[in-house]
Amino acid sequence: MNVGVLVSGRGSNLQALLDRLQGGDCQVVAVGSNKAEAPALRRAREADVPVRVFPHADYADRASHDLAMADWLQARGAEIIVLAGYMALLDSVFIGRFPDRIVNVHPSLLPAFPGVRAIEQAVEYGVKVFGVTVHLVDEGVDTGAILAQRAIELGTMSDPAEVHQHLQRIEHELLPEVVLRMARGEVRRDPDNPRRLLVG
Ligand code: GAR
């Protein structure tokens, strides 16, 4: 299965995907971004993966922006889409093009702390156990069905940057693992509860 990745930032999760997937049966075939300056794009170019920037300002609205991204990703052969630090909501037109095939990584144990500044909010709240969620994308904000989660004890950690470093180590392992499982057809919905995904 071919994977398309959307990024907006540093791209450490993209790097983890490239390191784990390239050269195998399931490869990253395209990397799209809404940010021309995203450092993630250099990682894609260095791995010889086609890159395209879709600046929001070039499109009349999010629907036409996301439609252009979906067209490009499909033309590159992408079947699974991974949001690896893609910091924008996706329009329903995009989601409809890749049903149950869009994966997001979020730095919290959903449904706690969806949306932006998840780590800062959790630290401020004083949670003791925190973690990472990999989930399918639907039209809500981090509301899609959960594929995998991993937790850590925060102990005395209270600096969001330090917590993020710990979470990223988990993300870099968990995200490629889930994408490979999805590519192998190991993800299905529980017939008795469609919100529940059975993985493996
Ligand atoms: C990741 O830590 C990911 O959890 C977060 O952005 C970071 C991107 O890092 N995503 C979200 O907050 C999505 N709501 P990266 O650019 O180094 O992969």
- pLDDT, tens digit (0-9, with 9 covering 90-100), for 107-132: 999 999 999 999 999 999 999 999 99
Residue of 13, 43, 110, 163 to test ligand 1 pocket, by largest number of atoms within 8 Å of CB: 13
Euclidean distance between the first and the last CA atom of the chain, given in angstroms as a whole number? 17
Name, in order, each residue with C-beta under 8 angstroms of 25's C-beta and a sequence gap of 6 or more.
1, 183
Amino acid, single-letter form, for residue 52: R
Rounded to the nearest 5 percent, the helix, strand and coil shares of the chain are 35, 25, 40
pLDDT recorded at residue 102: 98
Residue of 14, 43, 106 to test ligand 1 pocket, by largest number of atoms within 8 Å of CB: 106
- pLDDT, tens digit (0-9, with 9 covering 90-100), for 164-199: 999 999 999 999 999 999 999 999 999 999 999 999
What band does 144 get if pLDDT is binned at 50, 70 and 90? very high
pTM for this one?
0.97
- How far is 107 from 35, CA to CA, in rounded Å? 21
Atom number of ligand 1 nearest to Cα 114: 14
pLDDT over 90 (residue 138): yes
- pLDDT, tens digit (0-9, with 9 covering 90-100), for 13-22: 999 999 999 9
Strands 80-83 and 51-53: unpaired
- pLDDT, tens digit (0-9, with 9 covering 90-100), for 42-97: 999 999 999 999 999 999 999 999 999 999 999 999 999 999 999 999 999 999 99
What band does 139 get if pLDDT is binned at 50, 70 and 90? very high
pLDDT recorded at residue 200: 83
Atom number of ligand 1 nearest to Cα 167: 2
Tokens of 186: 């190991």
* 192 CA to centre of ligand 1 in angstroms: 32
Catalytic residues: 106
Q: What angle do CA 107, 108, 109 make, to 5 degrees?
A: 140
Domains of the chain (ranges; CATH) run 1-99 (3.40.50.170), 104-200 (3.40.50.170)
Average pLDDT, the chain: 97
Sign of CA dihedral 73, 92, 99, 130: positive
What band does 23 get if pLDDT is binned at 50, 70 and 90? very high
Beta strand ranges found along 34-94 (DSSP E)? 51-53, 80-83
* Ligand 1, CB cutoff 6 Å, lining residues: 9-13, 40, 84-85, 105-107, 168, 171
Is the distance from CB of 197 to CB of 146 less than 8 angstroms?
Answer: yes
- How far is 174 from 62, CA to CA, in rounded Å? 30
Dihedral of CA atoms 102, 108, 114, 119 in degrees, nearest 10, equals -130
Name, in order, each residue with C-beta under 8 angstroms of 121's C-beta and a sequence gap of 6 or more.
113
* 191 CA to centre of ligand 1 in angstroms: 31
User: Which residues make beta-bridge pairs with 6?
Assistant: 32, 83
